[in-house]
Structure 1
Amino acid sequence: MTSINSSFSSRFGLEYAPTSFLVRMGKRDMLVCRDFRKRFYAVNPIIECDTGVQPGHIEILLFGRWLLILSKAQ
């Protein structure tokens, strides 16, 4: 993961993600990585939106594989 001071902490478990990158767009951070978590529910095959692990985060799962996590930049 990059060394940018972001609002993503180890609570997301991103140190175990195979590939990830962080994009900062103004006041927002967007982290893109492969989804590595076991989902215990049926996900939409195209796009799935959910609240994040931390307050103020939004997770968007694309095609059941790519996870976009949106948050405020710190």
Structure 2
Amino acid sequence: MTTMNSTFGSRFGLEYAPMSFLVRFGKREVLVCRDFRKRFYAVNPIIECDTGVQPGHLEVLLFSRWLLIFSKAH
């Protein structure tokens, strides 16, 4: 059994995210999960981009439901 060392730490709280999976494309990682966080601002209903919690991460929220987090793989 092999394990992937992810750059997504516990600061994202993704251990509580339902149905998440990690995809690696060369030097990049993409984490896809359902958005479980409460947003305290008006969210664009189609696509919303924001910087991630950790440096070097980009969050993309699709259809107010799916969260894609892009980062460099280590």
Which TM-score band applies after superposition, normalised by the shorter structure? over 0.9
Name the CA distance, whole Å, in 1 between partners of 2:70 and 2:7: 10
TM-score (norm: length of structure 2): 0.96
The aligned residue for residue 69 of structure 1 is 69
Cα drift, residue 63 of structure 1: 0.1
Q: Report the number of matched residues.
A: 72
Specify the code of the residue in structure 2 equivalent to 1:14: L
Query: Gaps spanning 5+ residues in structure 1: where?
Result: none
Q: CA RMSD in A?
A: 0.5
Task: Give the share of equivalent positions with the same residue, in percent.
Answer: 82
The alignment partner of 1:15 has SS state of: helix
The aligned residue for residue 4 of structure 2 is 4
Query: Gaps spanning 5+ residues in structure 2: where?
Result: none
Larger Rg: 2
